[in-house]
Amino acid sequence: MARKKAKKNGAVEKKLVGVADTVISAAERSKDPTLSIPVRSLANVTFDEKRGMIEMGRRKQARSFFNVGMAKKFMQTVLVADALAELQRADLTTSLREIYYRTKHTIRNSHENTFDGQNESDPLIEDLEVTLAALREELHVRAENSGTVVGPLVLVDDGDRVDCTRLGKGGYSVPSIVEPEYIQITKCTADFVLLVEKGTQWNRLSEDKFWRRYNCILLTGNGQPPRGVRRLARRLHEEKGLPVYVLVDNDPWGYYIYSVVKQGSINLAFESQRMAIPKAKFIGFSSADPDRYGLPRNVGIKLNDKDINRAKELLKYRWFQKKQWQDEIKRMLSSGLKYELDALANKNFQYLTKTYLPRKLKEKDWLD
Amino acid sequence: MSKPQLKSAAAPASTQPPEPKATVSAAELGARQREISVSEFFTKNRHLLGFDNPRKALLTCVKEAVDNALDACEEAGILPEVAVRVEVASNGDSPPPASQANRFRITVVDYGPGIVRQQIPRIFAKLLYGSKFHRLRMSRGQQGIGISAAGMYAQLTTGKPVQIISRTSARAPAHYFEVQIDTKKNEPRIFENKKIDWESHRGTQVTLEIEGRYQKGRASVDEYLEQVAIANPHVKLVYHTPEGETKEYPRTIHELPPQPREIKPHPYGIEFGMLLKMLHDTRSHSLSGFLSSDFSRVSSKVAQEICKGAKISPHTRPRNIHGETAETLYKTIQSTKIMAPPSNCISPIGEKAILHGLYKQIKGDFYTAVTRPPAVYRGNPFIIEAGLAYGKGPEEAADKPERPKMPLAEGEQQEDDNELANVIRYANRVPLLYQQSACATFKAALDTSWRNYGVSQSRGALPAGPMVIFVHMASVWVPFTSESKEAIADYDEIRKEIKLALQECGRRLGVFLRRREHAKSEFRRRNIFELYIEEVVEACSRLKGGKLAKEKLKNQLQKIAKKRTGGAKTDEALGSRDGPEGLPHSIIVTAEGTEGEAPDMPEVAPSEEVPGDEKESAPPAGQKTRVDSKTKDKTATPRRQPKPHGRKKAVLRPAKARKRAKPGKS
Ligand SMILES: Nc1ncnc2c1ncn2[C@@H]1O[C@H](COP(=O)(O)OP(=O)(O)OP(=O)(O)O)[C@@H](O)[C@H]1O
Ligand SMILES: [Mg+2]
């Protein structure tokens, strides 16, 4: 892919080579080579109220080579670091899957594979991201393109001008790396960004040219928004000063997606600084909406045990402690129901674009 | 053997005539009452002597002849060497295969002291004639009935006389005899008696032709001889099977066991009837003299004490003591404090010899042996010995590599070792092959909590696993549950001793198993590290753009790995050097070699029949088989002999298939 800024990232390569240095210097001192890897779990994140984002704590786990339980993981980590360094040197980007294939082979004099599945290599990439404090983009690892954008926005991608008002209903497929080196925003006249959870709603809005009537940029990540989508929203927010509204299903997963966009993810908390949009607003679908918009009870779906547990967990998150959020979640729990955005079609097919969103925007009916 | 029963049956019935019945007068009965010859008795009760069925009969004949040969050699101070040949006998036409045949010729040759000419007929053709009955001394035979009973069985089933060749020295001629029993008179009938040329300078050869059946497996001739070899590593045994194979059991201990000494009976050990008989038979003229000279551990002081306690004058003539007086005497003796009998009259096999025997005959990874200190039951001194052979041996493990673990489908089962341990039992070095469950040894093995030693065991069962449990009772008088000498009676003192011996074996096994497990896991750890070190070093080298001293890093990492996995200790535990620390009288066998008191195995000639002169003796010491494990290759691997028989657990391990490294040469 992009070749130009590669030499700039000598710093990342150095960090990767540092993994080898850890091994070499430990061996020199007859010590057990050990990597300290920041713990990627809820227990190791803090919420910075002032900045409104999740930050990674200081807890680290030791991954030692001469420990039967960790030896293989240690070896695998070094192999992944090696593959990532190779990418840096060759100035290529790649996918998680290709990293897996690149590092997979049979260990000499054995029948054992270095990796037996991608599920073994993926977490190691995240480990290296947090350990070396390098973003995945900086490591040249991309995710699948699964985000789409339309609206009054002009971009330059690999030298090609992309006018997002002229891409029909389909829109522009957001690449996974949207850093300024790769994508430049040349023009943006929109008033806000609407980040929609599901492709179906995004299609509805795009088809109805909602973006034109309300002068906004429509973004979707088809579920949990991928890094490219989050990063693009963040850039539009930061560089162009656009407010970001998040439209998700009314279920605990929807709340969680919103929180990731707003405060950052627990898993890669250290990236919050570049990804989180602390000022993003939750525009819906709220547990108060069925009442307010007169949706019949029978278009709701009963919360299952997993939903209930998840919701109860969310109630404990530091960033959901505001009263309005506690009310919001508790209301869902007490109703025992969740609602999909699609349920709005019960009213009529264009209820979302013609009634629901316009009223929300007019009433400034959102949660922060 | 049915000594007591035979005797009572043979005793004149007139001493206590039965109460006359209405229909038969005493006179009529009296007319019918007459002496029953022991031979006639035998004809009717052959099961009592081990001839219940043709298969067992074949075994019993071999056993009687072999036991006699070993007894004779040992008593004469000659290292025993015995050849056994079992052939299918046929009347002219081509013989059927061994498994179908019902007639066999058994020939047992020893190179022992031989038998003087005049005695030969009576030894082989007169029941209750022998040298061992009238004494209290540890030996295999006791009754003076064994070989003549076998001869009589031959006579009954095939009509063929017993053929004997015997020679007492190189200067004396060899005598050839053909004899049978006159069953009425219990006297020998001589068919042939001549001097012949015989290649052996000394020894005895017995040939019997009998009806029998040959079948391998449990309680077979093969098993018997194999077990003889285990408990008697000082014996060289050659066995020509009816299927034409030759099995050699080489000698691994080159000295005789110490001669057991004859002792007088201990007062605690005799029964009332015996006391009466002794009182009658004694040469002493006074009670005190009788007590102190006919019993062991009765000093004149103790004799006085007994007389005083029983209120009988010490000068009473022993012959005059009977009835109530005798009973009082008997009771007083039992309640008087008398020193335990001397135990030097017993000659145990010894830990070293048991180890050698087990090691030689049974494939395994671990061997141990325990000889208990002497103990006493009912006035009879005895010694219990126990041994264990555990595992399948490194060869087997190597032959059958661990199958890759696959998830099991429904109905599939881990084909694992749910086989139970095998108990091999001995009384005075003679294998006991029948009535296992009635035997004190077996009960003690069940009683032992093997689980404490890392072996699984279900309730009321033998422990599970590839294991052979060896138990030997040596005594001047082994108490059998019945006359057929098949199971040892379950006296508390005996069972307790057996359990103690087994527990000690078990404890050592536990130590071994734990140690091996530990070593294995350390080894596994090290293996993991070694495997990954390569990968890590390569990856580091690439990360460093090829500017890395790879070998150095690798060595450094390997050193750390070794240190972290127990270092040299693990090497040791894995069997590279040094004896089995903390495990006395044990042998540990690994793929690398053998540690502990393992015998050097003499080279054995190829398994073809050795024609003519079978008296080829073991090679001179020093010319031992030692194959360095490092140099083992296909050509150095000796051919394996065919498996001797169908027994699963104690797989006979031909000596020449054994390879071992000299300890310390790893
Ligand atoms: N191969 C032999 N060499 C020398 N003497 C022998 C040999 N076989 C038997 N004898 C002598 O013959 C005697 C009788 O043997 P036999 O087997 O009948 O009885 P036993 O061995 O004394 O007792 P058991 O009935 O318990 O076997 C023995 O006591 C022994 O003295
Ligand atoms: Mg005998």
Q: Which domains does chain A have, with CATH numbers?
A: 2-32+67-142 (1.10.10.10), 147-363 (3.40.1360.10)
Q: How many helices (H) and strands (E) does chain A have?
A: 13, 17
Structure tokens of B265? 């009976």
Percent of chain B at pLDDT > 70 equals 77
- From residue A254, how far is each of A277, A326, A347, B145, B441 by CA, in Å? 16, 15, 22, 98, 75
Average pLDDT of A87-109?
88
Residue B123 Cβ inside 6 Å of ligand 1? The answer reads yes
Query: Which is the closest atom of ligand 1 to the Cα of B145?
Result: 25
Q: Which of A16, A27, A108 sits opposite B560 (nearest CB)?
A: A27
Determine which of A44-48, A316-320, B242-246, B660-664 has the lowest per-residue pLDDT on average. B660-664
Ligand index nearest the alpha carbon of residue B149: 1
Mean pLDDT of A12-18: 93
Cβ(B146) – ligand 1 distance below 6 Å: yes
Fold of the domain built from segment(s) B346-400+417-605: Ribosomal Protein S5; domain 2 (3.30.230)
User: In chain B, where are the structural domains located?
Assistant: 40-249, 267-335, 346-400+417-605
Region B529-547 average pLDDT: 90
Helix (H, G, I), strand (E, B) or coil at B598: coil
Mean pLDDT of A295-315: 92
Q: What is the pLDDT of residues B252-262, one digit of tens each?
A: 889 898 888 88
What is the predicted pLDDT for the residue at B81? 96
Q: What is the pLDDT of residue A8?
A: 52
Contact B414, B406 (CB under 8 A): no
Which of the residue ranges A41-45, A313-317, B129-133, B184-188 has the most confident prediction, judged by mean pLDDT?
A313-317
Surrounding ion ligand 2 within 5 Å at CB are: B 68, 141, 146
CA dihedral B134, B137, B138, B140 (to 10 degrees): -20
The pLDDT of B94-107, averaged and rounded, is 91
- In chain A, residues with a C-beta closer than 8 Å to the C-beta of B529 are 65-66, 71
- pLDDT band of residue B610 (cuts 50, 70, 90) is very low
Q: Of the candidates B532, B539, B563, which has its C-beta nearest A82's C-beta?
A: B539
Residue of B3, B48, B71 best suited for mutating to test ligand 1, as the one with most atoms within 8 Å of CB: B71
The preferred substitution site among B68, B128, B162, B204 for testing ligand 1, maximizing ligand atoms within 8 Å of CB, is: B68
Looking at residue B287, what is its pLDDT? 93
Backbone φ and ψ of B8, nearest 5°: -65, -35
Q: How far apart are CA B377 and CA B495, in angstroms?
A: 10
In the prediction, which pLDDT does B265 show? 84
In this complex, which of A32, A85, A109 lies closest to B543 when CB atoms are compared?
A85
CB contact under 8 Å between A65 and B529, yes or no, is yes
Tracing tokens 């299903």 back to the chain, one arrives at A249
Q: Does B567 touch chain A (CB under 8 A)?
A: no
* Tokens (6 digits) for B351: 């830990």
Q: Taking CA atoms, what residue in B is nearest to A25?
A: B553
Q: How large is the average pLDDT for residues B313-322?
A: 90
CB contact residues (below 8 A), chain A span 282-321, against chain B: none
pLDDT band, very low/low/confident/very high, at B414 (cuts 50, 70, 90): very low
- The distance of A228 to chain B (nearest Cα, Å) reads 29
Interface probe, candidates A12, A23, A64, A108, chain B, greatest B C-beta count within 10 A? A23
C-beta atoms of A19 and B543 within 8 A: yes
Task: State residue B207's pLDDT score.
Answer: 97
Which pLDDT score is estimated for B396?
59
**H-type alpha helices, chain A:** 10-28, 71-90, 96-103, 118-132, 199-207, 210-214, 227-239, 252-263, 272-275, 289-292, 305-316, 323-335, 357-363
Interface test with A, best of B535, B541, B551, B559 (most A CBs within 10 A): B535
Q: How much distance in Å is there from the Cα of B49 to the middle of ligand 2?
A: 12
Average of per-residue pLDDT across B222-232 = 94
Q: Is the CB of B561 inside 8 Å of chain A's CB atoms?
A: yes
Q: What is the SS3 assignment for A214-244?
A: HCEEEEECCCCCCHHHHHHHHHHHHHCCCCE
Q: Which of A66-70, A155-159, B333-337, B517-521 has the lowest mean pLDDT?
A: B517-521
Residues of B in contact with A19 (CB under 8 A): 543
Higher pLDDT: B122 or B527? It is: B122
Same fold, B267-335 and B346-400+417-605: no
Q: Measured between CA atoms, how close is A24 to chain B, in angstroms?
A: 7
**Could you tell me which CATH number the domain at B267-335 has?**
1.10.8.50
Mean pLDDT taken over chain A: 89
Mean pLDDT of A332-359: 92
Residue from A15, A34, A67, A75 to probe the interface with B (highest B Cβ count within 10 Å)? A75
pLDDT tops 90 at residue A265: no
Q: Is the CB of B108 under 6 A from ligand 1?
A: no
Q: Each residue of A13-23: b (16+ CB within 10 Å) or e? A: bebbbebbebb
- Per-residue pLDDT for B64 more than 50? yes
The H or E element containing residue A63 is strand A60-64
Please give the pLDDT value at position B40. 72
DSSP state of B37: P
- pLDDT surpasses 90 at B131: no
* Cβ(B113) – ligand 1 distance below 6 Å: yes
Q: Return the pLDDT at B599.
A: 65
Helix (H) or strand (E) holding B249: strand B246-249
- Pairwise pLDDT comparison (B661 vs B439), residue with the higher score: B439
Give the whole-number percent of chain A exceeding pLDDT 70: 97
Cβ of B540 within 8 Å of Cβ of A32? The answer is: no
* pLDDT value at A45 more than 80: yes
Confidence of residue B4 (pLDDT cuts 50, 70, 90): very low
pLDDT confidence band for B289 (50 / 70 / 90): very high
| Highest mean pLDDT: which range of A284-288, B560-564, B633-637 | A284-288
Give residue A136's pLDDT: 84
Q: Is A172 a catalytic residue?
A: no
Return d(Cα B501, Cα B504) in angstroms, integer: 5
- Note whether B456 and B464 are within 8 A (CB): yes
Specify which of A42-46, A50-54, A340-344, B83-87 reaches the highest per-range mean pLDDT: B83-87
Query: d(Cα B64, Cα B485) in Å, to the nearest integer?
Result: 12
Strand, helix or coil for residue A195: strand
- Cα distance from B401 to chain A (closest Cα, Å)? 15
CA distance A211 to A148: 13
Instruction: Identify the pLDDT of residue B647.
Output: 33
Q: Which helix (H) or strand (E) holds B472?
A: strand B467-475
Return the ligand number nearest the Cα of B135: 1
Q: How far is the CA of B144 from the centre of ligand 2 (A)?
A: 6
What architecture is the B40-249 domain classified under in CATH? Answer: 2-Layer Sandwich (3.30)
Residues B613-632 have pLDDT tens digits of 434 343 343 333 333 333 33
In this predicted structure, what is the pLDDT of residue B593?
A: 67
pLDDT at B401: 47
Average pLDDT for residues B337-350, to the nearest whole number?
86
Cα separation of the two ends of chain B = 53
Residue A214 Cα, gap to closest chain B Cα (Å):
52
